[in-house]
Structure 1
Amino acid sequence: MTSSTLNVTLHFAEITDLPAIQDIINDARDFLADQKIDQWQNGYPEPDVIANDIKRGETVALKDDEGTILAIASLVKGLDQPYEAIIDGDWRVKGTTNNYVSIHRVAMAKASRGHHLTHDFFDLMKEQIAADSDIESIRIDTHPENFGMQHVIETNGFDYIGLVPVVGGRPDETNVAYDLVLDRG
């Protein structure tokens, strides 16, 4: 794995970060559209979804030394209903209300792409999540055509598990799902 040469840190986002985060989401939406991937092309995630994530303390931001937000994600602890409907697979750790964290809404700022920040970002998120001794695993999903994100997920230690329904999607629409069991030994 290649790491960036930038000094980056992980912070919980504040509501004042919402405009910068929304810009990153919009950049990511355009990036996906340019690749002909229909993920996030229906307006999701809307500003109120992001604002609610921030208010619940679930949004993390990767920042550089100057405080510029380089990447964002939501770390959701607890029962994630769409993940309970897994298809063609099964989670390696059975979910309870507080033994796993789901990573959602991962996005990289346009200016940050190509700087090998995704591995640093995932390492810092995994470290943050593992600090909670109740957490046994981490779950994540992405669009079946988002091969770039699938590569990032796989090279960061996650294993393909199955398919999960897309929130707000068609009844037959699914994302590919992965998990990472934390080594507590």
Structure 2
Amino acid sequence: MNSEINFRKATPEDAGQIWQILQQAIVRRKNDGSRQWQDGYPNPETVERDIAHGIGYVLTENNAVVAYAAVIYNDEPAYEAIEGKWLSDADFNVVHRVAVSDEAAGKGIATEIFRRIEEYSRQNGVFSIKVDTNFDNTAMLRILEKLGYTYCGEVYFRGSARRAFEKILS
């Protein structure tokens, strides 16, 4: 069966599906023994804010939302205080809140959304992607390693250290 996969900006109509996917990912993180996203973040207001600010993106398969990510241009205050060093000082896109639906989990969808974000970034003249994740989010750490992201140091969110990565796009 062939499926059609698309990457696009999230719309207000997507908010319910996005929140459902994030809730599934929150449970998966907990079941994996991760402390990431176990503190009331992200929440429905986070999704609404992302969409309102035009930074929410979805990956759809046959028009059904299967993954979500926030893509933020040049703006992540926590990244200014990295304990370590970024690969570049160039313009960058930050990727936050990556989540995949239970139905699509384990099928390479998280990798695909990163590939689409990289392609989108290149098309918009941005050749650096920065991302962070919890030290215990083994699934995301594996994806970042597979896609060639370089560990740059630690950043802090809501009092917790997070592993920070960057990839320079060619």
What TM-score do the two structures reach when normalised by structure 2?
0.95
- What secondary structure, in the 3-state scheme, does the structure 2 residue paired with 1:63 have? strand
Partner of 1:21: 18
Aligned identity (percent) is: 26
What TM-score do the two structures reach when normalised by structure 1?
0.87
Tell me the amino acid that sits aligned with residue 102 of structure 1. Answer: V
Structure 2 gap segments, 5+ residues each: none
Please give the alpha-carbon distance, in whole angstroms, between the structure 2 residues aligned to 1:144 and 1:6.
Answer: 34
Please give the alpha-carbon distance, in whole angstroms, between the structure 1 residues aligned to 2:129 and 2:86.
Answer: 10
Partner of 1:141: 132
CA contact (8 A) 1:80 1:102 kept: yes
Instruction: Name which of 109, 112, 116 aligns with 2:101.
Output: 109
Superposed CA deviations along residues 126-176 of structure 1, whole A, max 9, x for unmatched, are 10111111x23110000001111000111112111110001xx22xx2000
CA contact (8 A) 2:121 2:127 kept: no
Tell me the amino acid that sits aligned with residue 93 of structure 1. Answer: S
Tell me the amino acid that sits aligned with residue 138 of structure 2. Answer: F
Partner of 2:74: 78
CA RMSD of aligned residues (A): 1.2
Count of aligned positions:
169
Partner of 1:7: 4
Deviation at 1:79, TM superposition (A): 2.7
1:27-176 correspondence runs (5 A): 27-65=24-62, 67-87=63-83, 89-94=84-89, 99-133=91-125, 135-166=126-157, 169-170=158-159, 173-176=160-163
Please give the alpha-carbon distance, in whole angstroms, between the structure 1 residues aligned to 2:86 and 2:150.
Answer: 10
Tell me the amino acid that sits aligned with residue 89 of structure 2. Answer: K
Please give the alpha-carbon distance, in whole angstroms, between the structure 1 residues aligned to 2:61 and 2:118.
Answer: 18
* Structure with greater strand percent: 2
Please give the alpha-carbon distance, in whole angstroms, between the structure 2 residues aligned to 1:152 and 1:23.
Answer: 22
Deviation at 1:47, TM superposition (A): 1.1
Q: After TM superposition, where is structure 1 displaced by more than 3 Å over at least 4 residues in a row? A: none
Please give the alpha-carbon distance, in whole angstroms, between the structure 2 residues aligned to 1:140 and 1:114.
Answer: 20
Tell me the amino acid that sits aligned with residue 19 of structure 1. Answer: G
CA contact (8 A) 1:93 1:136 kept: no
Tell me the amino acid that sits aligned with residue 179 of structure 1. Answer: E
Please give the alpha-carbon distance, in whole angstroms, between the structure 1 residues aligned to 2:103 and 2:50.
Answer: 24
